[in-house]
Chains A and B, each alone.
Chain A
Amino acid sequence: MSSVFTLLLARETRLLFRRPAELANPLVFFAIVIALFPLAVGPETQLLQTISPGLVWVAALLAVLLSLDGLFRSDFEDGSLEQWVVSPHPLALLVLAKVLAHWAFSGLALVLLAPLLGLMLGLPIGTIPVLLISLLLGTPILSLLGAVGAALTVGLKRGGLLLALLILPLYIPVLILGSGALQAALQGLPAVGHLLWLASLTALAVTLTPFAIAAGLKISVGE
């Protein structure tokens, strides 16, 4: 069972490294969105600092969403998804490996890029650990929930916008908790409560969403 998991992880990693541009696109998008805001609202450090928690989180949320649009597409087109559905291994486990591999490269890269952009927005150094931890806990939830939407829309011609419509409302708790943690840190308050809540949501998402993703894929493949 676990060997299938690691095999799949290795396969996904190889596939992702063959198309580095696809990995880089969400990151560039993330950076551009954040760069747009000082241009839109003005360069005052004070103002940017106040809005930066929300800004970083909204940008991260959109970047993850964008990267998820194609999550299952190539597997759907070349028929690997059908193989997965009929394989003797539980589909939920397979999709968990797939989403984790995806997160390990796109989500993790986002987390690593975030402190740099945070500093550009004027976040004090002391808040950077909270930013890192909150993104580290939050982005897996974003990937997993988004994968549910990606699984449901994979067979559709123009699923991208629909995916955003389905999934963005479900992202709201993560957005509130993540930016709340950062805001608390910015005001010098303890952010542990927010982070613990985020962690429990992560645990919930890791245990429950694979089943929903598997159900969604079965429906999309069966069509």
Chain B
Amino acid sequence: MNFSSFADFIAMGNHGVYVWTSYGISLAVLILNVVLPVLARRRYLQDEARRLRREESK
């Protein structure tokens, strides 16, 4: 461990703002990249389910 306390870890020697904003935004972008395809897949499957039901009821 390079830091003596948790407060030290958060402060990052006065550079905390820069380190944590870049890690935070990057993490958000990575998560967005995973969530978007998952949501798109779910929406597509829901659309398909509706279409199949309509075809069956015909």
Indicate if A touches B (C-beta under 8 A).
no
Which B residues form the contact surface with A (CB < 8 A)? none
Which A residues form the contact surface with B (CB < 8 A)? none
